[in-house]
C-alpha cells in the first residue's frame, strides 16, 4: 500500500514538472544555435551527455517493469516502476536545465 502511494505521489510530481516545462517552452523566446556562447554550448553538451545515460537507464527500468508485470510479483513491479518514475523526474530536471540555458534574456 505504501509503495502505491509513493508511486502515485511521484507520478503526480513528474506530471506537474512536465507541465511546467511545457508552459515554459511555450511562453519564452529561445536563442538561435549560432547565438549561443561557447560556455552555453559546452553546458548544453554536458547536459545532453548526462541525459543520454539517464535515457538508457529509464529504458532498462521500463522494459524490466514490463517483464515483471508478466513474470514477477506486484511488489517487484511497483519497486521498478518507482525507479522508472524517479529516472523520468531526473530527465525532466535535465530538460528544465537545457531549456533555461537557451532562453533569451
pLDDT digits (tens, 9 = 90+) for 10-57: 999 999 999 999 998 888 888 888 888 888 889 999 999 999 999 999
Identify the pLDDT of residue 31. 81
- Residues 6+ away with beta carbon under 8 Å from 92: 14, 17, 18, 21
Q: What is the pTM of this model?
A: 0.88
- Please give the Cα distance from 6 to 24 (Å, whole number): 27
Print burial letters for 67-97: b (CB count within 10 Å at least 16), e (below 16): ebeeeeeeeebbbbbbbbbbbbbbbbebbbe
Identify the pLDDT of residue 105. 56
Identify the pLDDT of residue 104. 66
Identify the pLDDT of residue 63. 95
Exposed / middle / buried, residue 61 (Cβ in 10 Å: 0-12, 13-18, 19+): buried
Q: Is residue 100 predicted with pLDDT exceeding 90?
A: no
Residues 74-95 have a mean pLDDT of 95
Amino acid at each position: 500500500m505504501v509503495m502505491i502511494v509513493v508511486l502515485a505521489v511521484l507520478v503526480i510530481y513528474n506530471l506537474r514538472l512536465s507541465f511546467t516545462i511545457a508552459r515554459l517552452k511555450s511562453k519564452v523566446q529561445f536563442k538561435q544555435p549560432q547565438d549561443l556562447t561557447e560556455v552555453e554550448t559546452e553546458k548544453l553538451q554536458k547536459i545532453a551527455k548526462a541525459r543520454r545515460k539517464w535515457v538508457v537507464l529509464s529504458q532498462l527500468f521500463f522494459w524490466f517493469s514490463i517483464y515483471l508485470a508478466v513474470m514477477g510479483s506486484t511488489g517487484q513491479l511497483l519497486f521498478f516502476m518507482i525507479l522508472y518514475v524517479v529516472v523520468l523526474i531526473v530527465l525532466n530536471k535535465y530538460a528544465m536545465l537545457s531549456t533555461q540555458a537557451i532562453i533569451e534574456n
